Amino acid sequence: MQVLTKRYPKNCLLTVMDRYSAEVHNMEQVVMIPSLLRDVQLSGHEGRAQAEAPDLYTYFTMLKAICVDVEHGLLPREEWQAKVAGGEAEEAENGTAETEEVEDESASGELELEAQFHLHFSSLHHILIHLTKKAQEVTRKYQEMTGQVW
């Protein structure tokens, strides 16, 4: 398991990001055969698999992809849209969505920037903590499946 080398306050976003990154790297080191995670469901709160939940392989790939963004920054908006859209028809929809966003921004311009910042900051903090727990669960489940539990 990776050890955090930087020291920040406990609830600092940088601490949460470092913890997430370390947990995902630990997951990558433990999960030697990711294909074993296909079609394996994560148990719910009461020990039951959730009906339409993604399999562990989906979580594994998602957590790795998000970690790249956390560590290296986001793609420029145009590159990200091209990657997500994958087609001209969807790009046309994105152009429409952008004009709607501009209209929404002018309408929501009355909101204070500080309030918007705190909303997004707390949401990001919460999401990173949730994703860190998911990485721990994927690692734990893989260890159970392969008999690596200590």
Q: Residue 41 — φ and ψ, nearest 5°?
A: -90, 145
- pTM of the complete model: 0.67
Domain-embedded: residue 143: no
Question: What pLDDT score does 21 carry?
Answer: 95
Asked if the structure places residue 81 within a domain, the reply is no
CA torsion angle 141 68 85 87 (round to 10): -100
pLDDT averaged over every residue in the chain = 79
Percent of the residues in the chain that have a pLDDT greater than 70, as a whole number: 69
Written as one letter, the residue type at 141 is: K
Whole-number Å distance between alpha carbons of 60 and 75:
21
Spatial neighbors of 149 by CB under 8 A, at least 6 apart, are 140, 143
Q: How far apart are CA 77 and CA 95, in angstroms?
A: 12
Q: What is the pLDDT of residues 21-57, one digit of tens each?
A: 999 999 999 999 999 999 998 776 444 556 678 899 9
The answer to whether residue 67 sits within a structural domain is: yes
Predicted pLDDT of residue 97: 53
List pLDDT tens digits, range 73-96.
877 777 766 766 775 444 445 455
Write out the residue range of the structural domain in which residue 25 sits: 8-42+52-76
Position 37 in a domain: yes
**Does residue 18 fall inside a structural domain?**
yes
- CA 7 to CA 54: how far, in whole Å? 34
Longest CA span, the chain: 56
For residue 13, being part of any structural domain is answered with yes
**Residues shown for the chain:** 150
Q: Total structural domains in the chain?
A: 1
Residue 61 included in any domain:
yes
